[in-house]
Structures are given as structure tokens and as C-alpha cells.
Structure 1
Amino acid sequence: MEHSLLLHLERHERGELERLEKLVNKYERGQIQRVDWLDRLTFKTMDKIKEHESLNNGSSHLYLVVDFCSFEHRVVFQESGANFLLPSPIASTNDIVIVWDPEVGKINPSEHKQLKLARSLTRGVIDRDLKPSSNERKSIQKILKHPPTRTLSGDERQLLWKFRFSLMSEKRALTKFLRCVEWSDVQEAKQALDLMGKWEMIDVCDALELLSPVFESEEVRAYAVSVLERADDEELQCYLLQLVQALRFERSDKSRLSQFLVQRALSNIELASFLRWYVAVELYDPAYAKRFYCTYEILEENMMKMGAGANGEEDGFKRWQSLVRQTELTAQLCSITRDVRNVRGNTQKKIEKLRQLLSGLLSELTYFDEPIRSPLTPGVLITGIVPSESSIFKSALHPLRLTFKTANGGNCKIIFKKGDDIRQDQLVVQMVSLMDRLLKLENLDLHLTPYKVLATGQDEGMLEFIPSRSLAQILSEHRSIISYLQNFHPDDHGPFGITATCLETFIKSCAGYSVITYILGIGDRHLDNLLLRDDGSLFHVDFGFILGRDPKPFPPPMKLCKEMVEAMGGAESQYYTRFKSYCCEAYNILRKSSNLILNLFYLMAGSNIPDIASDPEKGILKLQEKFRLDLDDEACIHFFQDLINESVSALFPQMVETIHRWAQYWR
């Protein structure tokens, strides 16, 4: 009886594999619609199923099966290195019959020869004057619109190669053309590099793609760096985090990219400070520690050699020492955090200990011998900590909230965290800052709050403190958002008793963050990590879950609670209609820069950021899906409006939010 049950189970499993094989055959015949990102995930899952079935084999016993080479006739000679594949034994009881074909997976010799002839140097004379037909041009334009994550098919590669000369004036085509090249073929690689030098100069966002792990050619990567040299310091700083990560994909410790980053940093203290921190944090990665340390040494050596600046700036030695003192400061803050945590008692006791330390044993922190460049804003010199204005947040990690005096007589407030990896927060806020820049370039200011975040270690870092209150606090004390804003911007003649400017700021910021958190797949949104400033600007904090991950079940596409809609006058008001209009406009603007955003995330694929490192390919494909590149702008407006309606009407997340509020209350 037991034997027959196992046999039935084995036949059932084989039947499942047979069903999958039939679906694959339909897919290859074009009977199933191709969806690039989904197909890749599907085939990966199928491979896991096959591997699982081959290991388990429908039995609780383990077997070791060894196949030895066997031939119909005696082997007289075997070529060294030949890899003989053997057919699986065919039995009549098997549900699936596997036919052995030794040429499967190998290049067809005739096809390979045709490919070589089509790409030979002699073809260059013929291809030079070739012009694509109307249909071929449509196909080429379709290929050029492919996202950078898309793998080109054999036919697409051949089409771009065939018309390479006529495409040289099309700068968008270069990255796609370079993907067509067989770089192992010296002759073909030389052809491609010659054409690359004559191609229309590409944009900086496309140059970032050439620094991804897909392109190993040092000449191609050096060309990408030459394009980056055209970017000004402001733009370069937008991509600096990713450019440091791209050092992982270089073939040399002293690569052209490394030298370029150091040279630009020498003339800009902000770039130098951030480059030093970004590299220093990666020194903990054993796989690439040598490469990052080499860049660190080059930066240190070159800066120490610098003389004083023409505008009275300090010499290189003093500038480098000012950056080193940042590390000394963070080490002292780590020590303070440990001492404060060891204090028994409530948060107030810990705050008293903090102020006692700053006024006593660590009084040197209240007035620095030499001003230190703020790690968050290197252009600002900080001169000491104000003990009476420093505090501790009520949290498990007890983050410090410190007020620093500045050299110009002002002050700045920062949050210092120890025991939490904030590199993911750093990436998200960088993306918010970049998207804010992209929107403003299109004359759309949505009053975003891209506060500064800097990881100073694997489990420590600084965040800019923005005076604000969480929506949970506001709703608890004031019942509504409008009631809260009336305290700061009252206007009897304005909408809902507040000024029109304040309401407009609230609506725009809600729209901006709704779009950005949707695109980046920000999870774990609740009323405690949605903050509101006095001027009406709403912003998000705490980005522990990105790219679609969420600890809560059935999360809505975006965080848009009913209290936010009520503050706009309800779903039928003109202000809510304006909110939806801003959302759709912002979404279509950011879709235009989808390649840039995808390229930046692609360069982060090798990083140790949790939600990317777990499965980089899947995360980037999820990000690509959010842009809906298959739709035009008009269709995207309808799509995004449906998303907003779905988010507002989601009942389950409201229940989860209520449970979260209860949990916070009892905590």
C-alpha cells in the first residue's frame, strides 16, 4: 500500500513537470505573451522546482546516482577536454521521455559562421551605407525604448549591429549597441570601440549604465567616465553614492573611475567629505575592502599634497585633518550612546546623564579647539554641542538629538543613531532629493523635505533633525490636521480657516510623497512615520522596507489615509482634485527619468543594503514595473488615478493602523 502511494506521488510530481514543459513549448512557439521581467522570475522558479524534484524524487530516502560515460562502440580516442553528455535512461514506466541531444546549449556552427561573416571587417564597407526600412526603423525605435534592465534578443542584437553606422547620430542607441558586441572577439571589439569614439556624445544618465557590471571593457568604462566629467559638482553629488558602489565592478584598484572621483573631490570639500565617508563605510566589506581602501589612500595622499586655495582656503593637510576629526567626533558620540543606555531608569534619567556627561567629563565637546566640518553639511563649521538643548528620543536604541553651535553664530540639530544600519535610509532620501531636483527642473515644486542622512558605519549614522510632529501625535491632540495647522497659519477668509499657501503646501507635499513612495515601494507606512511641519509640509521617515517589502498584510499601493483626504476637503472637493492632478503630473515627469533611476539602483546591486542585497534582480524588476513603461502619458493618468482611489478606499490598512495605534499607546 505504501509502495503504491509513493508511486502515485512520483507520477503526480512528474505530471507537474510535464505540464511545465508543455507551457515552455507554447511560450517558445509564441502562444504565450512575453513579459520580460516576469519571464525571468518564472524560469528561475521553474529551475528551483526541477532541482527540488530531482533531489527529493518523491521519496524520503536519499540516493546518490553516478552516471559513467558509455558508448555504443569501444572508444579508441577521446579529445582532451571534451565534455560528453549522456542521455537519461528511457524506461517505459516514465511519464516524461527526455531525448538526449548533445548539441543543446551549444552554438550552431552554421549560425556562428553566419554571425562572423555578418560582423566581419569586410561587411563594414557594405553596412556603412545601409538605411533601415520603415518597419526596421520602428523596430529599432522600440528597442531604444527598452529599459536598461532588458536583455536584448538575438534578432534585436543583429538588427542594431546591421544598422550601426546609421545609428551613430542617435545618442540613445550607443548603450544598446554596446550590449550587442561579442567582447571576447578581438576583431569585433575593436570595431565597436572605433565606432564608440565617433558616436554622438551620450547623456550623463546613460553613462551611468556603462558603469554597471554588464560592461567589463575598460575602454567602455573609461568612456563613461569621460562623459561624467561634463557633469557639474551639484549633479555629480546626486550620483556619488552609486559611483562609489560602481568601484566594485572595476577591474583595477586604481581605475579611471577612482581617479576621477578623487580629482573632483580635491576641488570641492563637500564632495571630498562625502566620498571619504562613502568609501570608509565600505571598508568593512571583505570582498572589496582592498579596492575601497586604495581609493581612500589616493584621496588622502592627494589632499595632503594640496597647497592653500587661491581664495584663502586652508591647505590640503588642514582640510584633510578637518575631515578626520569628523570620525573622532562620531567615535565619541558612540561612546556617549553606550554610557546613556547603561543608565537604569526612564528616558528622563538618560537625558540627565547625557547633559551631565557633556557638562562634565566630556566638556571638551561643548567647545571644540578647532571647528569641525559637519558630516551632514560639510560647508558648515560646527564649534561645539549645547548640553541644555540636547536630548534623547524615547526608543529602544535611544538615539541622541544634539544641538551644535555653528561658526557663523547659528546652530544645527542632528540625530545620532548607534545600533541601526541606516544605509537604506540614506539611499531612499538620496532618491527623494534626486526626484525633487528632477521635478523642479520641470517647474514643479512639491515642497518635499529631503532631509540629510549619512551612514558613518555599518550600524551608526547621522540624520538631520527637522522640527515636526507625527500625524499620530497631531490627530491624538488636535483631532484633525486642519485644526493643527490653524494654530500656525489661521486665516478666516482662507480655505478651512487656514491660509491658501499653507493648504497648497500640504496638498503638494502629499502628492509628491504619494508618488515617490509608490515608485520606490516604501513599506511599513503608519501615522508615526508620517511627519508634518508647521508650514504644512508633510514628509516620510524610517525606510526599513523598500522595493515592495512590507511587514503589514495587504498594504495599499500608497499611504494616503482618510485624515489626509479630509484635510483637503474630502474626496469630492476641488482641493482633492488638485492633489490628484499633481500626482499624475509628477508621475509622468519621473517616468521620463526612469532609465536614470533604474541605472542608479542597478549600480547599488552589489551593495550590502538589506532590501537590495537579498535579491537585486527581483528588486530592480519590481522598481521597473512601477514605472509602467508600457503605457503612454494619458493612459498613465487613468492608471494612477485608479491607484489613488484604491488606496483611499482600502479598509484593511485602516484596521491595521488602528491596531498599530493601540500598540503604540500600550508601549
Structure 2
Amino acid sequence: MDTYTFATSRQLDYPVCVKINNLEGRQTAVNPSVLLRHPEIRHIGSVQSPLSELFVTAQIWAESKPLGVSSQTPHMFFKNSRTWNKWLELPILVKDCPITTQVTITIWDLSPLPVDGSLQHAVPFGGTTIPLFDDDGVLRKGRQKCKVYRKRAADGRSPSSTPHIPRLRRRRRGEEIPAPLPEEEELERLEALLKKHEMNEIPQNDWLDQLVFQRMSKISREVDANARKRAALRRVEKRKAKAEIASNTAVPEDERDDSELDDEERFTLYVDFPRFDFPIVFEDHSYDRPKLMRDFYNSASADGLNAKAPPEVRYGPGIAAGNLVVDDEDYPVINIFDPEQFQKDNPCETKHRRLVRSDRNAYFDADQKPNAKLRDELNDILSYGPTQELNAQEKDVLWTFRRHLSKDKRALTKVVKATDWNSPNEVKQMTDLIPKWAEIDVDSALELLGPNFDNPVVRGYAVDRLRKSGDDELRLYLLQLVQALKFERYDGEEEGLPASSLAKFLIDRAAHNFQLGNYLHWFLMVECDDRGPDTNAANRKLFARVEYHFMLELERCDPEQRRTLLRQGEMIAILSKISKDIRFGRDSRPHKIERLKKYLADPKNDLLNIDPPLPLPLDPSIEVSGMIPDESNVFKSSLSPLLLHFKIATAEGPDNEDTSSVRSQKLKSDSRFSIIFKTGDDLRQDQLVIQIISLMDRLLLRENLDLKLTPYRILATSPQAGAVQFIPSIAISAVSSKYKGSVLAFLRANNADPEGPSGVRKEVMDTYIRSCAGYCVITYILGVGDRHLDNLLLTPEGKFFHIDFGFILGRDPKPFAPLIKLCKEMVEGLGGTTSTQYAQFKQYCFTAFTTLRKSSSLVLNLFSLMVQSSVQDVRMVEEQLGGVGGVVGKVRERFHLDVSEEEAVRLLDQVLADSVNAVFGVVIDRLHELVQNWRA
């Protein structure tokens, strides 16, 4: 049995080739009377000799247009017959040919006196057109018999007037089309068998084949003779009919139509196409849908909407779809893709909308209130998520009741979306109404600062709402607010910044709060240095402008803060140089550690003693007075990260600042702060994840739910360098090897209590249960991937946490990875799936998930501000799925906002069960362990 029975044209990376074999037919002699009236005819080559020197050209056509230039045979001298036997290679590949491709073949005669007076002494002897694919979409192969239309060049239009197989004439009224003769039917049957014989589909037998060929030649001559006789009779009958209509009128012989000449001479051209062992079936090139169409179909499938069917259109006269044959009366109906189908509005609906929203209804709308049915409809619209699109009817309802909705803080973002900002009338009404609107929440303000809103009044109102937020709350959103600067519109000629702009607001707040200014400075510097493929010079220029005005403001308000930031930059530059030297060094790890200690102790680097103390860029609430070189280390990794220990000058900070962050290293009993500094790695994605974890921790604490999370500090100091807070902990993989896979053994070793649950102190076990639940829910919502036992850490106090967020938003390099990393070691630490601790763990998961669902709009709006950032996975998902809906949609689907709270909890419970029983997770952990041991 053959492994396959056909191939596709997209697999054929080979040019279209056709072999011109021979021309058969007998030319009718020109009447002497015609030569007397047209003496220039006598100089045509075919008139002078029946074996004159003809040449052939071939060209590719499709959709009534030529594709590429033509190819031609060389001039040849014929002895007994017009035989070329020459292959012509056409300048187009088979894989690039559409289904409507035709090969136009024209036979050219020579004339010293061309009729059109051109310099090209070639006149058409005849032409024929043959489709490259047959009616079944199969590439033609082998020998082809083509009818030649005398004195006409090949026609490549659709449909062609010179088809290689003549189409049946349409029967006129009262006319009877004669049935084909038995000899013609027999000849067609034999020619089909001959083609199979040439393709080796029929066994060859030399002596019998010779007899068959002789018999076929005789039948062919008889058919040609009979055809010429019938053509002569039809010509005589036609002349008699014309003579009856108009007496003394005759058709000169040289003016007879081409059909009579074709029937009388019956020229046939034999050509060959390349032969293949299998049929080559046409396969069209599949183009990606435009971004606009992807957004529509994605939203339609998500909302359960049915997309409109493509419109039905008709081609114009003389043009057919595919290989269909059309005539003057019946054109086929075909479907085409209309790129404007969902891009441009219906003109009738646009006119209706303008009338509804015109000035004449402005005063009428002021007192209009919705009835009960419309109130329910408006409540449904206001419950939509930030990424859900509004249809035309919903926009009209929102606009009609905009003044009534101004009392509802949830409605502003929806009404702004329903406003036509290209209409001066609607813009004026909306800008007058916005200042009177009820005070909106922070999540709505962040949505108004997104890429879909560029009106200065709208963005200014959102900035005014942010002015009421405290510095601690503002710091939670600062990373996204810096990215929102890309969506601002500034006058290039204006020197300063508009007072209502987001940039001016951030600068004013950061200039009066050092911690806020510290992070703003480093976020801006990283964006200024980013020269990756996903960035552009305009954004870098924008961030540089904001940084410049920030420095001017600091010079005016607090010059000492500006000098502090410059000192931080000098220290980071020195650490970056040391890290690069250690990373690219070829010596062993012990030698690298010695070199690191030497670098840190070198007085030229000013790291051993820092005077005056310097706020640490990673955590500006901590002032460091120097480093401890003897305890520094180099991790075993390809990037050689550095473990650095800073001496803390002062351990106290404001009591009300960042209660959710790690403060275990800031106690007076411990006068050091440890960080991991590395180069060659973009930490902005990890920085984003940690920021979201810190925000979620604050949201949970606001609902009195403390899940003992560990949002350690992380700061990208450049696109390829950064610092991470070091938390004393042990990886689950190390626990597995040292304590024989028992997390309980590790907890008992550090917190033994015979009376506690599973022999562990009660508060430590409670911390472990809560932290496991918190990170399971958060990593599930963020779609964190590439989870293995080396990036799951555990502190002696029972705090469980994740590190290394190189894959988020559902991306995972490992196949069949579970949606939640709940390995057997974690479950064993909980006492098994039947224990009381595991039941508490699940309850914490459900409570945390339902709590975070209530603030889903805030999380989604923060991600919507990141769609144009250089965060790797955000950029990748945005390019694959398109726009804000792609990035935010990935997070939105994990919240399960389209179902009730009970159904969402049930879905999370199923995910937890699947993760516990996941077999591939165990296999992946073992494979990762083997790879790590092999590298070591």
C-alpha cells in the first residue's frame, strides 16, 4: 500500500513548465483572388510554405490578468512536420499559482509587413488556452490535446475565447445541434486510453501497440476529412441564407469568420506537462485574518454572538469564479471576503444615530428617565467587564440616559465608550457633563487612562481622581501609570507639561515623596534605555522628556533627593560592571567568588563603606552604609547571579508603610539586607508579577484575609539587569532530597510541637496552609507557567512562595502542565488530601478566589495599561491574540466572570483536583531534576 495517494500544490516548489510538442493540421490554400486584393498576405511565412518557421510563446494568466512575462521557443527549421519538442519554463512556481491559473499558448507566424505597422514582424498563426488545474482542482500532467484558433492570439481572460477544448455552442431557437459522429466518439475514447498508456497506467505491448497506433491514425484522418466536408457544406448553406435575405450580397472568401476557418483547417497543438506519480491537488494559501477581524470573531465567540455571513456578490461580465464557465445570461454567485464588513458602519444606522443624538434632543434627554425594563437593561450593561465591547443599541441607550446615569460612578466608562468623539456636538455635551459626574473608583480611573481614551478632558478627570489616592496606594499602580504615559498626547513645541496631564501629576507627587520618586526614576530610566525590537524612538523620547522635567522639579524642590538618585545610579553602574566581569569570566566558581570579594572590598568602588548612608533603590525605606564582602557569593547559574549583603544604617521606617511586604530583614536584631544582583536577564516581567501579587495581598488584607504571602522586592535597573530581594529559604527540591520528600519533616525539624497538627507548631502549619492557598490561586489567575520544584520555596517559618516568573498568561514550555502547581510534596505537607489541613487549604483557596473576583476590574485595567510594554509574555500574547482583548482576555478567563460565584468556585475545585492527580507534573519534575543534576 502506498503511504499517500496525492500531494498538494503548496508542496510543489517547482516552476510551471510546458513542453511544446508538435502542431497537426492542414492549412487551406489562399484563393488567388484574395491575394490580388491583399498582396501583403503573400509574404506571410505560412502562406508561402506549409512548413514555414513558426515559434510558440507561453504565458501564465489568472483572474484575467497576466502573471509574469512570456517564454518562447527558438526559431526552428521544419523538414517534414512542425515539431518543436522544447520545454518552456515559466517564471512562476506551482505553489504560487491560484486555482484560476491558465497557460496561454500562441503560435506566431512571420510577416515582413505586419498589419499594425509595428516593428515586431510576428502575426498570430493561432492560439489556445489551457487551465493549469482541471475541473476537480488537480494539476494537469502528461500530454494534452489543444485546439488552435486560427489567426487569433491566445486569450487569458476568464472565460477564455480560445479554450483548448471547445465549449458546446448554445442552441438557438429552432436550431438543432447535430449529435457527434460515432467516429469522433471513438477517437476521443482512444485518445483518453492513449494518455493512460503514456502514463504507464496500461501495460505496453510493442506489436499490439503498433497496430493500435496505425488504426488511430486512420480514424483521425477520416474524422478530419469528414469535418472539413461538413464545414464546407455549412459555409455553402450560410451563403445561400444570406443571399436570400439580401440579394446580390456575397461574403468574400477572405472575410469568412474564424469559426469557419477553424472547422475547415482543424489545427491541433500537442503539449506536455510534467508527469508525477501522484495527483497534485490544489491547495490555497491560508492568510491570517486581519487584526480587526480576529478581534471581532474572538469577541463574538466569547459573547456567544453569530458573526455576519460574508455578502454574496456577482462578478462582472466575462469574469468567472475559479474554473467555472459563464456566458452572457447566467453568472455564478460566489462569496468573497469583505474587509470593511465590520470596520465601517452602515450609513443608514450612522444617519439614524446622528439624528437621535442631535441638538434637538439634548434638552429632551435631560429629564428622561428609564422605565423598569430599561433600568434592567442598563444594569446589565453597567455590569460588563472593562474589555467587553458595546453594540450600537447599547451605546444609544447609554447616551440617551447619560444625565440620569451621571449619579452612578460605574457608568462613566461605559458612557465615554458610547460617545462619538468625532462629533463636536457630542464632545461638547460630554465634556460639560463629566465634571458633574459622581466620583469614580480607582479602577475606573485607570481604565480611562488606557489606550482607548485619548480625550484630554476624560484623562484629566481620571488624573483628578488619582489625586485623592494616598502615596502608598499610588505606588501599587505606579508601574502601570508609567506605561500609561505612552497614551498621552503632548504638543511637541510646548516646553513644559500640561497641568492636567498624568506626567505632571506623577512628577508633583514623586517630588514630595522620596519612595515614590525613587521608583518613578528607575521605571523611567529603564524605559529610556530600552532599545529592543518592540520599542520605538518616540516612546524613548517621551520617557526622557518626563525624566528631564522630573529632575528639574527635584532641583527646584529638593536638590538633595536628586543627588541621592544620582548616587544610586553610580552604585548600580559599579555593580553592573562587576556582575558582567564575573559573568563573562572563564574561571571556576570558587575563583569568581574570590574575585567578587576583591571587587567589593576595593576602595576605588566605594562599596565597602557608603557615607553618607544611601537609600537602597530596591527598597528606599532602607538606608545602607556599606557592604559585607566576606559573605558575598556567586550562584551556580549560567548568568552567575551575585549574592550581596548590605549593612543597614537604620532599620526603622514609618509604621504605616507597606505592611504587606517582607520586613523580616529590617528588624534591629538583623542589621543586613541581602539582594541578588544579575545581568543578562530582563526582570521586568518578574517585577510585574510581584507588583500584582503585592496588590492582591493588599486586596485580601482589606477583607481581613491574611494569606501570609511573600511579595519580595524586585527592581529592574536596566532592560538587562536588576536586583531581587534575597529571602532565606529552601527549595522544595532540596527539601525532597534532604528530608526524603517530606515537607512535614522539614517543618518538624524547625518548628516541632508534639501537640500541634502533624507534630508542627499550630501557627507555622497555619502559615503554610494559608501561603500555599494564596499562591495557588494567584498563580492560577496570572497563568504562571514553568513551575518545578526549584522555583517553589519554603521558609523555616512555614511561608511557601514562588519565584522565577519567566512564563505567564498561560504560556508554559512544558507540555500538559497543570493549571495549578500542586505537587505531591505540597500535599504531603498538608497531611494528604483527606486531612483537615487540606480541607482548610481548599477553603482558603475558595475564599481568596471569590475575594479577588470582586476586584477583577482593577486587575484587568492594570493589565490593559501594559499592552504596549516590553514585558515579554504580555507583548507576545498581545501580538498573537490582538489588542487589549488578547492580554486582558487571558486573565479574564481565569476569573470566570461569565458564570456565577458558585459555578466559579466549582470550576476552581475541579482545577485543584486535576492538578493533584496530574501525572505529567510528576514526570516534568523528575525530568527537570535529571537535567539539573546533569548540568551540575
Question: Is this a same-fold pair by TM over 0.5?
Answer: yes
Q: For residue 80 of structure 1, what is the aligned residue in structure 2?
A: none
Structure 2 Cα separation of the partners of residues 228 and 370 of structure 1 = 35
Q: For residue 58 of structure 1, what is the aligned residue in structure 2?
A: none
Could you list the per-position Cα deviations for residues 551-605 of structure 1 after superposition, in whole angstroms to 9, with x for gaps in the alignment?
0001101000011111111111111011000001000110111110010000011
Q: For residue 301 of structure 1, what is the aligned residue in structure 2?
A: 552
Instruction: Give 3-state SS (helix, strand or coil) of 2:723's partner.
Output: strand
Q: 1:7 aligns with which of 137, 140, 143?
A: 137
Change (3 A) 1:499 1:127: same
Matches within 5 A, 1:234-313: 234-252=472-490, 254-255=497-498, 256-285=501-530, 286-306=537-557
Change (3 A) 1:100 1:357: closer
Where do 5+ consecutive residues of structure 1 fail to align?
Answer: 48-69, 73-86, 307-315
Shift of residue 500, structure 1, vs aligned partner: 0.9
Larger Rg: 2
Matches within 5 A, 1:129-278: 129-252=367-490, 254-255=497-498, 256-278=501-523
Shift of residue 495, structure 1, vs aligned partner: 1.1
Could you list the per-position Cα deviations for residues 75-125 of structure 1 after superposition, in whole angstroms to 9, with x for gaps in the alignment?
xxxxxxxxxxxx985567188714799996654443222211211122122
Change (3 A) 1:89 1:188: farther
Range with greater deviation from structure 2 (358-367 or 489-498): 358-367
Shift of residue 3, structure 1, vs aligned partner: 3.9
Change (3 A) 1:301 1:572: same
Shift of residue 137, structure 1, vs aligned partner: 1.8
Structure 2 residue 764 is the aligned partner of structure 1 residue 502: yes
Letter in 2 for 1:134: A
User: Is residue 304–residue 320 contact of structure 1 (8 Å, CA) maintained in 2?
Assistant: yes
Structure 2 residue 922 is the aligned partner of structure 1 residue 654: yes
Q: 1:579 aligns with which of 827, 841, 865?
A: 841
Structure 1 Cα separation of the partners of residues 444 and 382 of structure 2 = 12
Structure 2 Cα separation of the partners of residues 238 and 639 of structure 1 = 30
Instruction: Give 3-state SS (helix, strand or coil) of 2:695's partner.
Output: helix
RMSD (CA atoms): 2.9
Instruction: Give 3-state SS (helix, strand or coil) of 1:172's partner.
Output: helix
Structure 2 Cα separation of the partners of residues 389 and 38 of structure 1 = 60
Q: 1:615 aligns with which of 852, 857, 877?
A: 877
Letter in 1 for 2:736: L
User: Is residue 794–residue 800 contact of structure 2 (8 Å, CA) maintained in 1?
Assistant: yes
Could you list the per-position Cα deviations for residues 410-462 of structure 1 after superposition, in whole angstroms to 9, with x for gaps in the alignment?
22111111110000000000000000000000000000000001000000001
Structure 2 Cα separation of the partners of residues 102 and 540 of structure 1 = 46
Could you list the per-position Cα deviations for residues 198-221 of structure 1 after superposition, in whole angstroms to 9, with x for gaps in the alignment?
111111111000000100101111
User: Is residue 90–residue 98 contact of structure 1 (8 Å, CA) maintained in 2?
Assistant: no
Structure 1 Cα separation of the partners of residues 692 and 833 of structure 2 = 30
Range with greater deviation from structure 2 (362-371 or 609-618): 362-371
Structure 2 residue 643 is the aligned partner of structure 1 residue 416: no
Shift of residue 408, structure 1, vs aligned partner: 2.4
Instruction: Give 3-state SS (helix, strand or coil) of 1:587's partner.
Output: helix
Q: For residue 696 of structure 2, what is the aligned residue in structure 1?
A: 435
Q: As a proportion of its length, which structure holds more strand?
A: 2
Structure 1 Cα separation of the partners of residues 739 and 337 of structure 2 = 74
Could you list the per-position Cα deviations for residues 283-329 of structure 1 after superposition, in whole angstroms to 9, with x for gaps in the alignment?
134231111111111111111112xxxxxxxxx22211111111111
Q: For residue 600 of structure 2, what is the aligned residue in structure 1?
A: 358
Letter in 2 for 1:293: A
Q: For residue 733 of structure 2, what is the aligned residue in structure 1?
A: 472
Q: For residue 826 of structure 2, what is the aligned residue in structure 1?
A: 564
User: Is residue 343–residue 349 contact of structure 1 (8 Å, CA) maintained in 2?
Assistant: no
Structure 2 residue 588 is the aligned partner of structure 1 residue 346: yes
Shift of residue 382, structure 1, vs aligned partner: 1.0
Q: For residue 630 of structure 1, what is the aligned residue in structure 2?
A: 898
Letter in 2 for 1:527: L
Q: For residue 851 of structure 2, what is the aligned residue in structure 1?
A: 589
Change (3 A) 1:360 1:188: closer
User: Is residue 716–residue 722 contact of structure 2 (8 Å, CA) maintained in 1?
Assistant: yes
Q: For residue 380 of structure 1, what is the aligned residue in structure 2?
A: 622
- Once the two structures are aligned, what percentage of the paired residues are identical? 42
Structure 2 Cα separation of the partners of residues 355 and 518 of structure 1 = 41
Structure 2 Cα separation of the partners of residues 358 and 351 of structure 1 = 11
Q: For residue 532 of structure 1, what is the aligned residue in structure 2?
A: 794
Shift of residue 8, structure 1, vs aligned partner: 4.2
Could you list the per-position Cα deviations for residues 522-578 of structure 1 after superposition, in whole angstroms to 9, with x for gaps in the alignment?
000000000001100000000000000000001101000011111111111111011
Structure 2 Cα separation of the partners of residues 556 and 376 of structure 1 = 33
Change (3 A) 1:635 1:389: same
Structure 1 Cα separation of the partners of residues 351 and 281 of structure 2 = 44
Under a length normalisation based on structure 1, what TM-score does the superposition of the two structures give? 0.86
Instruction: Give 3-state SS (helix, strand or coil) of 1:417's partner.
Output: strand
Q: 2:324 aligns with which of 85, 93, 103?
A: 93
Letter in 2 for 1:661: E
Structure 2 residue 759 is the aligned partner of structure 1 residue 493: no
Instruction: Give 3-state SS (helix, strand or coil) of 2:402's partner.
Output: coil
Q: For residue 555 of structure 1, what is the aligned residue in structure 2?
A: 817
Shift of residue 483, structure 1, vs aligned partner: 0.5
Shift of residue 381, structure 1, vs aligned partner: 1.3
Structure 2 residue 932 is the aligned partner of structure 1 residue 664: yes
Instruction: Give 3-state SS (helix, strand or coil) of 1:325's partner.
Output: helix
Q: For residue 574 of structure 2, what is the aligned residue in structure 1?
A: 332
Q: For residue 51 of structure 1, what is the aligned residue in structure 2?
A: none
Q: As a proportion of its length, which structure holds more helix?
A: 1
Change (3 A) 1:100 1:173: closer
Shift of residue 71, structure 1, vs aligned partner: 10
Structure 2 Cα separation of the partners of residues 554 and 101 of structure 1 = 39
Structure 2 Cα separation of the partners of residues 363 and 189 of structure 1 = 58
**Matched residues, number:** 609
Shift of residue 363, structure 1, vs aligned partner: 5.8
Structure 1 Cα separation of the partners of residues 636 and 915 of structure 2 = 31
User: Is residue 592–residue 634 contact of structure 2 (8 Å, CA) maintained in 1?
Assistant: yes
Structure 1 Cα separation of the partners of residues 340 and 779 of structure 2 = 49
Change (3 A) 1:633 1:262: same
Change (3 A) 1:275 1:102: closer
Instruction: Give 3-state SS (helix, strand or coil) of 2:789's partner.
Output: coil
Shift of residue 344, structure 1, vs aligned partner: 3.6
Q: For residue 645 of structure 1, what is the aligned residue in structure 2?
A: 913
Change (3 A) 1:319 1:554: same
Structure 2 Cα separation of the partners of residues 627 and 98 of structure 1 = 39
Letter in 2 for 1:522: V
Shift of residue 38, structure 1, vs aligned partner: 8.9
Letter in 1 for 2:560: K
Change (3 A) 1:456 1:101: closer
Q: For residue 36 of structure 1, what is the aligned residue in structure 2?
A: 302
Letter in 2 for 1:257: L
User: Is residue 376–residue 452 contact of structure 1 (8 Å, CA) maintained in 2?
Assistant: yes
Letter in 1 for 2:369: K
Instruction: Give 3-state SS (helix, strand or coil) of 1:486's partner.
Output: helix
